[in-house]
Structure 1
């Protein structure tokens, strides 16, 4: 006898995104390094944000999401945010839960401006250089030379 598909409107999970990421996935090696670098610059984040008002999205989440966009060469924040809605790997790396909403693409624009105006970006780049995450290679995009 043929079984029928039963629709399930809601689902309760006792799992975290970590349970869905393979143990040998390359990002598992990168995540502790990113976490360590962000812990070092955490005091700078405290200086950027006010003590009162509505809580923001943690800058650590946004910076890790930016790393994912670079690692996976997303063409736009909008494309990344679409993937963030349903890709558990992309929820795991920036420490989001399964239930967390994806960022709105404009979130990056507004918050990146704030982060770039501080000492956080140079410190993060210095950490990346120290750990040899940056390549001395150069490449061009639209005729503009960029450091890789």
Structure 2
């Protein structure tokens, strides 16, 4: 007998991305290492960014994105940003909520310019 398909409907869920990533997944250990390293860089990031003005994407989030790009061999930053719209593991690694929008791929290049200017 042929099964039926049902149209997906919007739903309210109490699940978080953290609950969806298996406890023994290797990415959990990688995330802990990355967050420790980024915590040490926090003073340098504070010096690079103003306390006033329009908020930007956190440099920690962009560096963690680069880790994901390397680990999952995503071909480009543009494809990464597209995948970020629907990949809950990526959102979990970047400390984003499931319904948070991704960021624009040009954000990567503007941060590169900023980091080169502060050297």
TM range (shorter): 0.7 to 0.9
| Alpha-carbon spacing, 1:7–1:25, altered in 2? closer, same or farther (3 Å) | closer
How far does residue 116 in structure 1 lie from its aligned partner after superposition? 4.3
> TM-score, normalised to structure 1's length?
0.71
> TM-score, normalised to structure 2's length?
0.87
Unaligned segments of structure 1, at least 5 residues: 120-148
Whether 2:107 is the aligned partner of 1:107: answer yes
Unaligned segments of structure 2, at least 5 residues: none
SS in 2 for 1:78: helix
| Alpha-carbon spacing, 1:55–1:12, altered in 2? closer, same or farther (3 Å) | same
Cross-structure match for 1:90: 90
How far does residue 74 in structure 1 lie from its aligned partner after superposition? 1.3
What CA deviation, in whole Å up to 9, does each residue of 1:53-84 have, x standing for no partner? 01111111111011100111111111111111
Which of structures 1 and 2 has the bigger CA Rg? 1
Structure 1 distance, partners of 2:26, 2:113, is 29
SS in 2 for 1:41: helix
Higher relative contact order (CA 8 A, sep 6+): 2
| Alpha-carbon spacing, 1:105–1:4, altered in 2? closer, same or farther (3 Å) | closer
Structure 2 distance, partners of 1:115, 1:44, is 10
- Which protein is richer in helix relative to its size? 2
Map of 1:111-130 to 2, 5 A cutoff?
Answer: 111-118=111-118
Q: Number of paired residues?
A: 117
How far does residue 103 in structure 1 lie from its aligned partner after superposition? 1.4
Structure 1 distance, partners of 2:78, 2:47, is 29
Cross-structure match for 1:71: 71
Cross-structure match for 1:140: none
SS in 2 for 1:31: helix
* Misfit runs of 4+, over 2 Å: 2-7, 115-119
